[in-house]
């Protein structure tokens, strides 16, 4: 089949926030060595059994291996090998620079980059409810192309963003204003008091914000609130551990070059997926509010951070992008919950501080 054709096209996925929308095209991977296709019942049983046995669906090794391939296999026609939960290898074709198979309405779109599609257990099973069983049935980390509209008249086909990105000076002034308002709030004072009372003995040298949103896009109150909290956390840590270096990272596909500059001014490095996962460890604080990837499930498999700031974990395991799975709920037994309120912005978000100052050590098979 010609490389310009969208063989294996599966669907269009939208990573949305209150600010903007990132478009991804998903393509199926093909098994390198063919096998007998399982029935839907067999596939569901296998996924459930493997999950209940404690085998991690996500590991740093697998994430790093996939990331290394994405960094090197960048041209159209290159092939990336994905491992599924059975250990089988699947082949995925890179289409960067090619036009996607979707209605353009006279506009020009192309695949600009490759991203990782993280699939929690509930995602793997819900996909089976909608589609026929295919080769990717046991793939927790698939691949996808990011789709951008481009300027046909420009020499390098410059990206046309679907929302206005503010100038750096405007973004910086707006964020500084919102940061000051946050620092004067009762919620901020309560946040720092809780840290001093319950996390003073935890070894912390990293702060990681995942899917916090862009400061440079309109309607950025959520992004500004989350970033302001992280800046306060950084200041608290630097005051507590004056001689210790604190590495601070923000990872979100919506971030722009303007975000990179503004974040750098307050001590944060903007990183691309999957750098945030690879930096994450037992000495980290993680903030992630309403992400479009299964953050909780991934963290439950790869680490036990010192502090987790996200939506309250309950028994509800409905189909959602960041499910409260049984594995996540089991992880939270090792944490104490602390409310962030009374600010309405944080009414549904809580802080979990690990009960033990000494981080748990995973077993040889990677389970905790």
Query: Is 60 exceeded by the pLDDT of residue 5?
Result: no
Spatial distance between the Cα atoms of 243 and 239, rounded to a whole number of angstroms: 9
With b for 16 or more beta-carbon neighbours within 10 A and e for fewer, the 127-139 pattern comes to: bbeeeebbbbbbb
Are 308 and 201 contained in the same domain?
yes
Indicate whether 231 pLDDT > 60.
yes
Residue 243 in any domain: the answer is yes
Strand order in the sheet with 89-93: 30-31, 89-93, 79-83
pLDDT at residue number 110: 86
Phi, psi for residue 147 in degrees, rounded to 5: -105, 130
Query: What pLDDT, on the 0 to 100 scale, is given for residue 13?
Result: 57
Whether 302 and 276 have beta carbons less than 8 Å apart is answered as no
Residues 224 and 317 in one domain: yes
Give yes or no: residues 223 and 306 share one domain.
yes
Interval 44-83: pLDDT, tens: 999 999 999 999 999 999 999 999 999 998 888 999 999 9
Q: What is the mean pLDDT of the chain?
A: 88
- Are residues 90 and 203 both part of a single domain? no
Q: Is residue 4 part of a domain?
A: no
pLDDT at 18 over 60: no
Taking only the tens place, the pLDDT of each residue in 107-133 is: 788 888 899 999 999 989 887 766 678
Same domain, 181 and 270: yes
Looking at the structure, tell me whether residues 233 and 94 fall in a common domain: no
Q: Is the peptide bond before 223 cis (omega within 30 degrees of 0)?
A: no
pTM of the model: 0.91
- What pLDDT is recorded for position 74? 83
**Which has more confidence, 153 or 75?**
75
Indicate if 183 and 320 belong to the same structural domain: yes
Contact at 8 Å (CB) between 350 and 339?
Answer: yes
- Tell me whether residue 155 is in a domain: no
* Angle at CA of residue 323, ends 287 and 218, nearest 5°: 50
CATH of the domain at 281: 3.40.50
More confident residue, 321 or 334: 334
Output the pLDDT for position 237: 96
Which residues span the domain enclosing 342? 168-354
Say yes or no: 54 and 128 in one domain: yes
105, part of any domain: yes
DSSP state of 219: S
Share of the chain above pLDDT 70, in %: 89
β-sheet bridge partners, residue 83:
89
The answer on 229 and 104 residing in a single domain is no
More confident: 4 or 170: 170
pLDDT of res. 345: 79
| Closest among 246, 243, 295 to 269, alpha carbons compared | 246
Are 70 and 191 members of one domain?
A: no
Q: Which two tokens stand for residue 140?
A: 């927790």
What is the SS3 assignment for 80? strand
pLDDT category of residue 333 using cuts at 50, 70 and 90:
very high
Say how many domains are in the chain. Answer: 2
Q: Average pLDDT in the 241-249 region?
A: 91
The token duo for 78 is 């290159």
Give the per-residue pLDDT at 10: 55
């Amino acid at each position: 089949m010609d490389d310009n054709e969208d063989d294996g096209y599966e669907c269009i996925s939208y990573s949305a926030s209150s600010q903007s929308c990132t478009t991804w095209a998903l393509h199926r991977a093909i098994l390198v060595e063919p096998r007998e296709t399982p029935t839907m019942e067999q596939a569901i049983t296998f996924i459930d059994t493997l999950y209940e046995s404690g085998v991690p669906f996500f590991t740093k090794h697998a994430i790093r291996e996939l990331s290394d391939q994405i960094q090197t296999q960048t041209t159209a026609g290159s092939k990336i090998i994905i491992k599924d939960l059975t250990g089988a290898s699947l082949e995925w074709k890179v289409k960067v620079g090619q036009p996607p198979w979707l209605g353009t309405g006279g506009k020009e779109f192309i695949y600009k980059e490759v991203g990782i599609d993280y699939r929690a257990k509930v995602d793997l099973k819900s996909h089976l409810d909608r589609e026929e069983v295919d080769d990717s049935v046991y793939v927790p980390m698939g691949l996808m192309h990011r789709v951008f509209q481009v300027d046909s008249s420009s020499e390098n086909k410059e990206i046309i963003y679907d929302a206005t990105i503010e100038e750096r000076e405007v973004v910086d002034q707006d964020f500084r204003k919102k940061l000051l308002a946050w620092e004067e709030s009762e919620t901020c004072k309560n946040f720092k008091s809780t840290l001093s009372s319950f996390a003073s003995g935890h070894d912390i040298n990293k702060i990681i914000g995942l899917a916090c949103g862009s400061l440079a896009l309109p309607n950025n109150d959520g992004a500004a609130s989350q970033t302001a909290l992280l800046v306060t956390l950084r200041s608290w840590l630097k005051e507590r551990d004056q001689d210790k270096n604190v590495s601070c990272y923000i990872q979100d596909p919506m971030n722009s070059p303007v975000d990179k500059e503004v974040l750098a001014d307050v001590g944060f490095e903007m990183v691309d997926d999957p750098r945030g996962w690879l930096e994450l460890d037992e000495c980290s604080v993680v903030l992630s509010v309403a992400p479009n990837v299964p953050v909780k499930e991934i963290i439950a498999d790869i680490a036990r951070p010192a502090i987790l700031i996200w939506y309250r974990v309950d028994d509800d395991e409905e189909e959602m992008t960041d499910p409260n799975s049984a594995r996540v709920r089991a992880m939270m037994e090792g944490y104490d919950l602390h409310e962030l309120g009374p600010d309405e912005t944080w009414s549904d978000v809580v802080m979990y501080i690990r009960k033990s100052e000494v981080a748990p050590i995973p077993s040889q098979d990677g389970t905790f």
